[in-house]
Structure 1
């Protein structure tokens, strides 16, 4: 046992609460805010969609965000360590979240690389007017059909080289650590991202036809509120948008000082993320209104989301608008910044978990994690079948990875381990916005019901017919096989022994030095010291 004032561990920390908030917003504000939310809102009833969206935010998104913050901050560790400290049998949940982040990191990097190349292409209108779709799929990606060629190994240099640069940049940020790397990166990139997008939105609003686009985006279709699928869509989007339930916010909150206002920070992050989504919707649909006018059609004829919006529709807008190159550089530059801030949060889940498990230093762990992931990313997504692999992995890891682990984690924490009262007390002991019975009812009652409904709906949809018509063998490997493999590997990782240094963090009297009475963190290093309780001189 350690004597009084013995240093038990040294854990990295954010420089301040504001840096944490920027980093959490940077994780939440990602590609989905820009290229998914506008179309989801448009399809869900336009202005009327804001009602189910706000309901989902208040009754599921924010409660889950508070849950993640309380777990990471209360149990002071990466996802596996935090769940292990909650109960040893819960450790696999943490590793499940880590492995989900492994899959996402591998393919997320390539989208950032595409956006980086399109930032350059926008300055020169490289794709040529009228050839935007053909340029992306044929000239740039050189896409091949997996049904005909299988999983290709043909290297595509215009994708592979920027992908390598993205990985090198992210590895440097990660190796510098939480305070000097992740914190500073978000401190620089998030204000730049916000400024760029505001300028983009202002410029889009002055395009001819912008008003028609905004009308299509905001005009309420009240009948849509009677459709359960619209409400399910709102809840599904919120779960993914706030980066909850797959280890990111658990990990980030573990780097906070002990007296940090958790719920106040969570409210700032949640509403800032939603504000950015609405801003993105205004910019995107103003631009789509212009595109519809030029093509003499309505907004419904040009509205799309995801990769089609970013790499086909927006290049078309760039080609046709006055000052289009500037719009393109701002839009794709914003995608790069949003992608990088989200990607470093995803990687931090993995790095933090291995640091805790193995007791290694920051640089060694970062390289051990990032180099193999970069190699896998290059091997799978610098090829002619990259788009199909990405589409499948993304669809399955979201539906049967993030959604599934969120459902299981909520049931385990709330119903099997009965930890909500402990976590509620932890939140209320250091936060400006207190949570009570309503929070526990939402987390233990509403959230599992909604997640269960979404999970079953997705399961039935993907069982009823092959996803996107892809070959069965392909879905068995990159779809069903991948999600089952994550669960099996999570169980195996939880069986591996923790290093001696990590076992010291698993001290049976952890609750003693974690409590306010016996906890004395050094404000500069955030080193935990045990203060001898009255009943004895050691802890």
Structure 2
């Protein structure tokens, strides 16, 4: 009886208000900057309309299976990434911390891109860059960029970047402090419909531009020969991994906030196809606008097609300058980028907050401030300087290729082949889902995923070793490239050996105990012993 009292007094794990709020939040995490500025160009370069074949194959054979994989781990083991993997088996805990540390790095630079987008929303209303001066304005007057080869790592503060970056962090910290239901859930319930409406309006506006049809022809016309190129298939799989937010720890964490009888696979299918639908919508809007830009400049669409930062902050401002109603296009485009970025950044920071909250047993506000304030300070100090752009470029390239890909590869191998957990996870999915998974799902996760991830990892490794990335100095790549990648692994192992607080959710979690009480599930012997020890201490007290 004393043990039951102890458990009942433990802080109950937060939860989403409903399955629909979870779905909105998961879509908000998946729909980010990459959907808008990366997918259209990847599809165009990968064969246009023909790219939809490898894209759909990647979605069905890797993206959705790994999304289910993350959902099953988070929901079954009821914890943040480190706690969920620890409850699976102690040796797996470093995988969770690896994902947390990747999220730390991504949060640092993702916030500054949101700040850029927010500023460009304001700039679009006034055409601040001046017609024909878009590229010079972005790198010069706005970012005041300097080459690390000339100045090293700059400490020169750029106020027009630093001030909005600080505002972004304040907004995100406030949302995070309100918690999962009142903060993250409500923010996504507002921002996702706004994002959808704004981007739909942008697409409609772009379709009426002169030359829009040329852009759509370039985007959709299939180049069937591209399907014979293994690099195109690798590109499709690589994009899907990043697009659906798998292997970040995000979906593991979000799934842990779901109620016990939530339809996991049904929710996953909605999230996956909604994300893909948004990507195709983005492709239509972006290439319709690029078609106008190509016609205005008297060149082929291939001459103006680009991706990433170049598309967002050079090509689109050019379109805004040249198009009738360009101001509206600019506000819609950059406003959509801002909202998409905020919903994704929230999910990234939640991975970190949830991990420390589980490890230390702290209250929500205390954990949020402990995590977010140092992140904000480092983010502002590092990415409000004149060398921020090259630091961002290098860090993003290495963390994506050797962080996310590597941890995804190791996770599926450890869970499937070392710990033999896939049958257990399959049972958990099927016990509460409308769409049942079977041996095909296990084969896709245990066999196909490691092969594809291994190929992507090795080819990326060869590419980075063959020549210095971006032509940057060796010392610079050593710090923000290879050094960052190695540090993530080292610190993940170190964090996993730090003892869990006696107040942590690992040792005393009534929500997880309810799962252990379900006769359908057999607890990990180590986890059961840990819980028994916590209960005995409570009874003794």
> Normalized against structure 1, the TM-score is what?
0.95
Q: Cα gap change, 1:136/1:237 in structure 2, threshold over 3 Å: closer, same or farther?
A: same
Equivalent residue number for residue 336 of structure 2 = 334
Offset, 1:514: 2.9
Task: Provide the rounded CA distance (Å) in 1 between the counterparts of 2:511 and 2:36.
Answer: 46
Task: Provide the rounded CA distance (Å) in 1 between the counterparts of 2:505 and 2:313.
Answer: 48
Q: Cα gap change, 1:404/1:504 in structure 2, threshold over 3 Å: closer, same or farther?
A: closer
After superposition, residues 449-488 of structure 1 pair within 5 angstroms as 449-488=451-490
Equivalent residue number for residue 422 of structure 1 = 424
After superposition, residues 181-260 of structure 1 pair within 5 angstroms as 181-260=183-262
Equivalent residue number for residue 68 of structure 1 = 70
Preserved CA contact (<8 Å) 1:9 1:505: no
Q: Cα gap change, 1:266/1:504 in structure 2, threshold over 3 Å: closer, same or farther?
A: closer
Q: Deviations over 1:462-511 (max 9, x none)?
A: 00000010000000000000010000000000111111122663689967
After superposition, residues 308-319 of structure 1 pair within 5 angstroms as 308-319=310-321
Task: Provide the rounded CA distance (Å) in 2 between the counterparts of 1:510 and 1:202.
Answer: 48
Equivalent residue number for residue 411 of structure 1 = 413
Task: Find the residue that maps to 1:103 and give its secondary structure.
Answer: helix
| The structure with more helix, counted as a fraction of residues | 2
Task: Provide the rounded CA distance (Å) in 1 between the counterparts of 2:513 and 2:472.
Answer: 51
Q: Deviations over 1:373-423 (max 9, x none)?
A: 000001110000000000000000000000000000000000000000000
Task: Provide the rounded CA distance (Å) in 2 between the counterparts of 1:3 and 1:215.
Answer: 67
Equivalent residue number for residue 54 of structure 1 = 56
Task: Provide the rounded CA distance (Å) in 2 between the counterparts of 1:194 and 1:508.
Answer: 38
Task: Find the residue that maps to 2:504 and give its secondary structure.
Answer: helix
Task: Provide the rounded CA distance (Å) in 2 between the counterparts of 1:311 and 1:24.
Answer: 27
Task: Provide the rounded CA distance (Å) in 2 between the counterparts of 1:189 and 1:99.
Answer: 26
Preserved CA contact (<8 Å) 2:145 2:389: yes
Equivalent residue number for residue 448 of structure 2 = 446
- Structure 1 regions of 5+ residues with no counterpart? 520-528, 531-536
Task: Provide the rounded CA distance (Å) in 2 between the counterparts of 1:278 and 1:490.
Answer: 36
Preserved CA contact (<8 Å) 2:12 2:509: no
- Structure 2 regions of 5+ residues with no counterpart? 522-530, 533-538
Q: Deviations over 1:348-389 (max 9, x none)?
A: 000000000001010000000000000000111000000000
Q: Which residue, 289, 292, 316 being the options, matches 2:291? A: 289
Q: Deviations over 1:219-276 (max 9, x none)?
A: 0000000000000000000000000011000000000000000000000000000000
Q: Cα gap change, 1:513/1:196 in structure 2, threshold over 3 Å: closer, same or farther?
A: closer
After superposition, residues 328-407 of structure 1 pair within 5 angstroms as 328-407=330-409
Q: Cα gap change, 1:463/1:2 in structure 2, threshold over 3 Å: closer, same or farther?
A: farther
Q: Give the root-mean-square deviation of aligned CA atoms.
A: 1.9
After superposition, residues 507-526 of structure 1 pair within 5 angstroms as 513-517=515-519
Offset, 1:3: 3.7
Equivalent residue number for residue 180 of structure 2 = 178
Task: Find the residue that maps to 2:482 and give its secondary structure.
Answer: helix
> Normalized against structure 2, the TM-score is what?
0.94
Q: Cα gap change, 1:2/1:319 in structure 2, threshold over 3 Å: closer, same or farther?
A: farther
Q: Which residue, 27, 31, 34 being the options, matches 1:32? A: 34
Task: Find the residue that maps to 2:503 and give its secondary structure.
Answer: helix
Task: Find the residue that maps to 1:500 and give its secondary structure.
Answer: coil
1:271 aligns with 2:273: yes
